[in-house]
């Protein structure tokens, strides 16, 4: 691969941010009079995991496993990543990150990609699933925008729209009585994120001399403008002109 | 008359003899199980489903385990929702014995084993839900139907109430139900495991739950209920009262509430997402479309 190693954890950050959106959903069961019979915070997880780890995590319970699964639950997984041509900008744009006295770090224009994420909800009752879905839908119209830190280099703030693109209920109730009924809702999202390349370092121009002369006769010197920082400690982006027309 | 009337398919005495032999064989080769009739607390007549169930009774019945080599079903597998265990069992019970040991008590109107009822099998420490009851096998060999064959699958737990007074059954609820940790202070240890603890929040609202375990300073409470939908456990202050044990009579102020923890659900990453996400989401930006982590609050 061209250039040096870099890894900005963009996808991991997207996973964490997406997970934060849905980590506090509640399912409540009430009587007709409004009294609360039970209330559950819905367990939520990133679906892919190492198989041995899943077994080890459950090992204490598995040895005395008394139930098949605890419901309701939610999980999500990444199903695809595609380039977002509509959001692409000039790749030669540069973004300065840290500017020192003699050097500065910069990154080239970030590249937009769509990350497709599928959120699945499983419940024992339709009403539980409906409670979860109805807590989610009003927030997405159809997008909800997160502001993520450091996605396009240190100190950056990037708006990342999370777009709800599809909702599919799967309620299996037909068939023989020996097979389980299933209530699963699948919500498809597109997260419009941006990937940034290697952070590069370059020197900083600390003073500039401009000479004005006769282009036809270069021995004929008109004037000179010298631009330098006020002091060594001054940030180089606050140049002061010391142009003296008489010099 | 088309059928030979001198040959019988089974007299009542023959039926009773064979049935008694079946029962004797079952009592020799069966295993002891607990039968838990489902009590329906709240049924949704629009969506045709049970919203909330309770299992208050457990009847010990001998049942023959048809599966001799292994569980049926898909077994254990890793799905998108984590580790799932799809074990199935086929259990056989004599119709007469079920009537004697369960049916006669007429719990929740059961006149036969019902789909949706639970069977706890102590040998495998598994709680199984009856998905189908086949009552016609063997099929009228002597003109009667002496057995029930029940197809059961490992129970999908969804906060059902288990109050059978059989410790190993009720423990399922203690481990799997939604848990809330109340910090009480030094007196927590004097509350009793299994008792109901309650807190008066205002004149209309009392919140209560069942103590699953106690430490020196905390109560782990499951099956929280409230008489009003707006309030739940609160730190004792102002009008919010103490935590009162129904049996022990202990009353102590609640100093902290850890709302709905996942210490028994290692696959749940809710809190992990929040701690990671908080370091990457910029909450300082006033986002006109809302703020993350606000659902359900």
A172 touches chain B (CB under 8 A): no
CB-CB under 8 Å, A13 with B232:
no
User: Which of A68, A125, A126 shows the shortest C-beta gap to B84?
Assistant: A68
Tens digits of pLDDT across chain A (247 residues): 677 888 989 999 999 999 999 999 999 888 878 888 888 889 999 999 888 887 777 766 545 667 888 899 999 999 999 999 999 999 888 888 887 778 888 889 999 999 999 999 999 999 999 999 999 999 998 999 988 988 888 888 889 999 999 999 999 888 888 778 889 999 999 999 999 998 888 888 777 888 888 888 878 888 887 777 766 665 544 444 444 445 4
User: Measured between beta carbons, which residues in chain B are less than 8 angstroms from residue A41?
Assistant: 178, 259-260, 262, 270, 296
Q: Which of A46-60, B78-92, B105-119, B211-225 has the weakest average pLDDT? A: A46-60
A170 touches chain B (CB under 8 A): no
Q: Which residues contact A182 (CB under 8 A, 6 or more apart)?
A: A122, A170, A171, A172
User: What rounded mean pLDDT belongs to chain B?
Assistant: 87
pLDDT tens digits for B227-271? Answer: 876 678 889 988 889 999 999 999 999 999 987 777 778 888 988
Residue A50: its pLDDT value, please? Answer: 86
Residue B197: its pLDDT value, please? Answer: 93
User: Measured between beta carbons, which residues in chain B are less than 8 angstroms from residue A21?
Assistant: 292-293, 295
Structure ipTM over 0.90, yes or no:
no
Residue B187: its pLDDT value, please? Answer: 77
Measure A111 CA to nearest chain B CA, in Å. Answer: 19
Residue B77: its pLDDT value, please? Answer: 83
B285 touches chain A (CB under 8 A): yes
CA A101 – CA A117 distance, rounded (Å): 44
Task: Enumerate residues 76 to 115 of chain B having a beta carbon within 8 A of any beta carbon in chain A.
Answer: 76, 78, 80-88, 115
CA B20 – CA B12 distance, rounded (Å): 12
User: Which of B126, B223, B289 shows the shortest C-beta gap to A66?
Assistant: B126
Q: Where are the alpha helices (DSSP H) in B47-138?
A: 95-101
Burial class for B181, CB neighbours closer than 10 Å (0-12, 13-18, 19+): buried
CA A239 – CA A228 distance, rounded (Å): 6
CB-CB under 8 Å, B87 with A16:
no
Tell whether the model's pLDDT for residue B290 goes beyond 60: no
Structure tokens at A2: 């061209």
CB-CB under 8 Å, A13 with B41:
no
Residue A1: its pLDDT value, please? Answer: 61
- Residues B129-146: what's their mean pLDDT? 88
Residue B203: its pLDDT value, please? Answer: 84
CB-CB under 8 Å, A31 with B273:
no
Contact A158, A147 (CB under 8 A): yes
């Amino acid at each position: 691969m061209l250039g040096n190693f870099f890894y900005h954890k963009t996808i991991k950050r997207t996973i964490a941010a997406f997970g934060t959106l849905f980590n506090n959903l509640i399912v409540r069961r009430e009587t007709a009079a409004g009294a609360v019979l039970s209330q559950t915070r819905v367990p939520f997880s990133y679906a892919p995991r190492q198989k041995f780890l899943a077994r080890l995590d459950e090992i204490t319970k598995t040895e005395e496993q008394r139930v098949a699964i605890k419901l309701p639950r939610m999980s999500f997984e990444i199903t695809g990543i595609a380039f977002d041509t509509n959001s692409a900008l000039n790749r030669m744009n540069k973004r300065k990150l840290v500017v020192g006295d003699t050097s500065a770090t910069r990154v080239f224009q970030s590249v937009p990609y769509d990350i497709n994420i599928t959120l699945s909800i499983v419940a024992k009752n339709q009403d539980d699933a409906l409670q979860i879905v109805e807590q989610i839908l009003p927030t997405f119209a159809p997008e909800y925008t997160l502001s993520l830190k450091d996605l396009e280099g240190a100190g950056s703030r990037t708006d990342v729209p999370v777009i709800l693109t599809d909702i599919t209920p799967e309620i299996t109730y037909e068939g023989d009585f020996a097979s389980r009924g299933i209530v699963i809702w699948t919500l498809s999202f597109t997260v419009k994120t941006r990937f940034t390349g290697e952070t590069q370092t370059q020197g900083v121009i600390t003073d500039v001399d401009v000479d004005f002369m006769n282009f036809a006769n270069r021995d004929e010197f008109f004037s000179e403008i010298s631009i330098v920082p006020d002091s060594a400690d001054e940030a180089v982006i606050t140049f002061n002109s010391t142009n003296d027309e008489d010099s | 008359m088309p059928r030979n009337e001198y040959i019988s398919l089974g007299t009542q005495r023959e039926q009773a003899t064979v049935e008694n032999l079946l029962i004797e064989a079952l009592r020799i080769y069966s295993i002891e199980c607990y039968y838990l009739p489902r009590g329906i607390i709240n049924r949704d007549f629009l969506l045709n489903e049970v919203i909330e169930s309770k299992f208050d009774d457990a009847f010990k019945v001998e049942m023959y385990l048809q599966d001799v080599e292994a569980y049926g079903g898909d077994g254990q597998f890793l799905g998108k929702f984590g580790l799932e265990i799809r074990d199935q069992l086929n259990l056989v019970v004599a119709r007469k014995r079920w009537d004697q040991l369960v049916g006669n008590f007429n719990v929740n109107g059961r006149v036969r084993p019902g789909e949706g009822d639970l069977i706890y099998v102590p040998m495998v420490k598994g709680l199984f839900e009856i998905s189908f009851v086949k009552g016609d096998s063997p099929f009228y060999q002597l003109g009667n139907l002496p057995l029930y064959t029940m197809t059961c699958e490992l129970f999908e737990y969804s906060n059902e109430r288990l109050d059978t007074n059989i410790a190993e059954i009720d423990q399922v609820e203690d481990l799997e139900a939604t848990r809330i940790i109340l910090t009480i202070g030094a007196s927590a240890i004097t509350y009793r495991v299994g008792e109901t603890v309650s807190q008066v929040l205002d004149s209309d609202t009392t919140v209560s739950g069942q103590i699953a375990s106690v430490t020196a300073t905390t109560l782990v409470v499951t099956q929280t209920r409230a008489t009003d939908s707006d309030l739940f456990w609160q730190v004792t202050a102002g009008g919010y009262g103490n935590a009162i044990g129904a049996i022990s009579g202990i009353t102590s102020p609640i100093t902290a509430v850890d709302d709905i923890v996942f210490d028994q659900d290692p696959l749940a990453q809710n809190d992990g997402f929040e701690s990671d996400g908080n370091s990457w989401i910029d909450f300082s930006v006033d986002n006109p479309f809302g703020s993350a982590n606000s659902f359900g609050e």
